[in-house]
Amino acid sequence: MLAAHANRTVSRDDLVEAIWGDNAPPTAVNSVYTYVSRLRNSLRPERPDGHAELLVSDRSGYMLRVAPEGVDTEQFATALTTARRLRAEGAAPRAVRELEAGLGLWRGTPYGGAIGPFVHAERARLAEARLLALEDCAEMLLDLGRPVALVGELSALVRHHPLRERLRYLLMRCYVDLGWHADAVREYHSLREQLVEEQGMEPGSHLQQLYEQVLRGEPGAASALRPAREPGPPPPEGTGRRPAALSQLVRDVPGFTGRTAELARLSALAQEAVAEPTLLLVTGGPGVGKTALATRFAHAMAHRYPDGQLHVDLHAAGTPDRQAPEAAIRHLVAALGQPPPSESIDARAAYRSLVAGRRLLIVLDDAAGAQQVRALLPGTPSALVVVTSRNGLAGLIARDGARRIVLDGMAEEDGVRLFARIVGEPFTTRHRAAVRRLVAACDGMPLALRIAATRVKVAPSPEDALACFENADPVDFLELPGDRESSLRTVIGWSYDALPPEAAHVFMALGLQESRVITLPLAMGLSGMDRPQCKRALQTLADAGLLREVAPDRFRLDALILAYAQWLGKPQSLVPRQRDVSCTRLATITTIAPSTESERLQMTS
């Protein structure tokens, strides 16, 4: 109460009213004296006598002497006022920074632990002020063309304030700017249903107008005109003609679903590194959607990199010929309109010189290792590099300052939505329980869900196909005829093929049992390896995305990965794999030595 009215006298009666309201006890005034005395003692620093007191009193009441910047609520109010002035002056980027600084002052619930009429009223006032600040900040970020940074936060705010129309409008605008029109439409319907049911009213005109524009295919009219692209630095001298802006990004995945938190995290990581070379890693197991996420993020960020967006497939999986760094450099140099460097010139240095200072977005897809990526990194902070890999690439974090997100399966509701986008909402609604079981059986793996949904959609009887999945071997069910890359067997097989012999040996051994939880002693017993050797193999499997370490020496297999390991042990699986894998690897797992006399496991090729 005193801090909220700093440098103003607050009467004792006002303090009693603020703390107890109409329920003040007879001893309330005496309690105020006690509280003030304790507060004065805690505020009185050890300083020479005669120094001005922070808390002073007179016959009319008490005053807390403190500079305005010494009270966080005053700092917050000043930030809001300054931001609104800057916005009115057309300085939106500075206004955003001011708002973000003000919002950064928040540390949980205001007046945490305090009670009383004044505190309750102040909490409500400050919460509303914070929401308004968040909405203003989001609106300006959308105007500045930065929707990716907002998706996660706006979604969370809408969940906490489902009937707040401005938040819904901003989230819809965010979806529209990202091209997620179906999500925008779904958001409108969700709000309308709640408003009609709970308040008997329709959404406001601005929401209706945006909804109609999306349906008519005119979403661009919803957003304010974006400012011109940030100018890039001039081309370096001696690098030749600067080509027109490139756009090599691969096609965005149709029906991309979910991953709002991951997109928001990538955007936040990119923002954290604005003054240094930005390297983002998207890693995870096979079929988890790394390339789809990186592509969606790159398309959303493309407008911030006007000098071009480049995409290089490094072929870590699916081909024995991984793209060497020099070959990737030749591709990038040619895309930038330059002849390949002569053999007498250091190609890597020439590449760094060519891209220096340019605002480029470079996607390095399916990287095998840190060395392959390191050779392709620009030397200046003007570029953003996004790398996808099945491997952890921890060396890039240690040596090159990379920021990483590890992708896991989709949330159940997102998996159901993805299934519905392919098969159809009516069918999914009728069989929701079975679809949920399918999503769980696939561990939310997007590729597996897409294959399963397609199998159901094209089947003569979709109901029978859905029922068949529950009893079928997932390795056999999750493949599409005529497209080898749309096969669980193929996609996980690429990761298996890249394993060193010891790790491949342990992986096949894990398929001899049913548990998805793997401990180091269990793996030692199954593989016949000693502790150090087996632990190295398990860590290699974890780095390759085929296991997840959930605790020291304790790992977890996804259901589909375990199914593939079990399929490898079947006799019919060994013949086709000999086309891709050295027979030496199969020979190393012909016999698995027992770990105890009572536990004898044998597998023959």
Confidence of residue 44 (pLDDT cuts 50, 70, 90): low
Type of residue found at 258: G
Q: For residue 107, report the phi and psi dihedrals to the nearest 5 degrees.
A: -135, 70
Quick one: which of 522, 560, 321, 262 has its CA closest to 438? 560
* Strand, coil or helix: 73: helix
DSSP class of 108: S
d(CA 243, CA 309): 12
Identify the CA nearest to 285 among candidates 494, 545, 543.
Answer: 545
Residue 234 has pLDDT above 80, yes or no: no
Residue 27 clears pLDDT 50, i.e. is over it: yes
Helices marked H in 409-519:
412-423, 425-430, 432-441, 446-458, 462-471, 474-477, 488-497, 501-510
Q: Per-residue confidence at 45, pLDDT binned at 50, 70, 90?
A: low
Give the Cα separation of 109 and 115 in Å (integer): 12
Task: Kindly give the interhelix angle for 462-471 and 446-458, rounded to the nearest 10 degrees.
Answer: 130
Q: How confident is the model at residue 449 (pLDDT cuts 50, 70, 90)?
A: very high
What is the signed CA dihedral for 171, 177, 183, 186, rounded to 10 degrees? 60
Phi and psi dihedrals of 490, rounded to 5? -70, -45
pLDDT above 70 (res 598): no
Taking CA atoms, 125 is separated from 69, 77, 121, 134, in Å, by 20, 12, 6, 14
Please state, for a pLDDT cut of 70, what percent of the chain lies above it.
Answer: 85
Q: What is the pLDDT of residues 312-348, one digit of tens each?
A: 998 765 554 556 788 888 888 888 877 777 665 678 8
pLDDT confidence band for 541 (50 / 70 / 90): very high
Mean pLDDT calculated for residue range 110-121: 78
Considering the chain, what percentage of its residues have pLDDT values greater than 90?
32
Rounded to 5 degrees, what angle do the CA atoms 67, 69, 75 make? 140
Reply yes or no on whether the pLDDT at 595 is more than 60: no
Query: At which residue do the structure tokens 């859905």 appear?
Result: 466
Beta carbons within 10 angstroms of residue 545's beta carbon: 24
Task: CATH number for 488-588: choose from 1.10.10.10, 1.10.10.60, 1.10.3720.10, 3.30.465.10.
Answer: 1.10.10.10
Task: Say whether pLDDT at 204 is over 90.
Answer: no
Q: How far apart are CA 239 and CA 57, in angstroms?
A: 73
Give the per-residue pLDDT at 602.
31
Q: Which residue has the higher pLDDT, 30 or 208?
A: 208
Q: Tell me, what's the pLDDT at 243?
A: 44
CA distance 342 to 560: 48
Q: According to the model, what pLDDT value does residue 502 have?
A: 94
Does the pLDDT value for residue 38 go beyond 70?
yes
More confident residue, 601 or 139: 139
Mean pLDDT of 248-272: 85
pLDDT digits (tens, 9 = 90+) for 78-94: 888 898 888 888 888 89
Indicate left, alpha or beta for 179 from its phi (over 0: left) and psi (-120 to 50: alpha): left
How many residues in total does the chain contain? 605
Give the residue, 546 or 17, on which the prediction is more confident: 546
Q: What's the confidence (pLDDT) of residue 588?
A: 39
Tell me what the mean pLDDT of segment 271-275 comes to. 63
Task: Indicate if the pLDDT at residue 525 is higher than 50.
Answer: yes
pLDDT in tens, 450-471: 999 999 999 999 999 999 888 8
The mean predicted confidence, pLDDT, of the chain is 81
138-174 pLDDT, tens digit each: 999 888 888 877 887 888 888 889 989 999 999 999 8
pLDDT, residue 520, reads 94
Give dist(CA 308, CA 357) in Å, integer.
Answer: 12
Q: What is the pLDDT of residue 295?
A: 93
The domain spans of the chain are 12-64, 73-222, 246-406, 412-472, 488-588
| The one-letter amino acid at 583 | C
pLDDT value, residue 317: 59
Does residue 302 register a pLDDT over 70? yes
The helix (H) or strand (E) run that includes residue 311 is strand 308-313
pTM over cut 0.75: no
CA distance 372 to 107: 43
pLDDT band at 604 (very low <50, low <70, confident <90, very high): very low
- Structure confidence at residue 387 (pLDDT): 96
Per-residue pLDDT tens over the stretch 458-514? 999 999 999 988 888 888 888 888 888 888 889 999 999 989 999 999 999 999 999
**CATH of the domain spanning 73-222:** 1.25.40.10
The four Cα atoms 25, 30, 33, 35 give a dihedral, to 10 degrees, of: -50
The two three-digit tokens of residue 482, written as one number: 């005529």
The pLDDT score that the predictor gives to residue 220 is 55
Residue 382 pLDDT: 83
pLDDT at 89: 85
Q: Would the pLDDT of 47 be above 70? A: no
Q: Looking at residue 593, what is its pLDDT?
A: 38
What is the domain class of 246-406 according to CATH? alpha beta
CA distance 355 to 329: 11
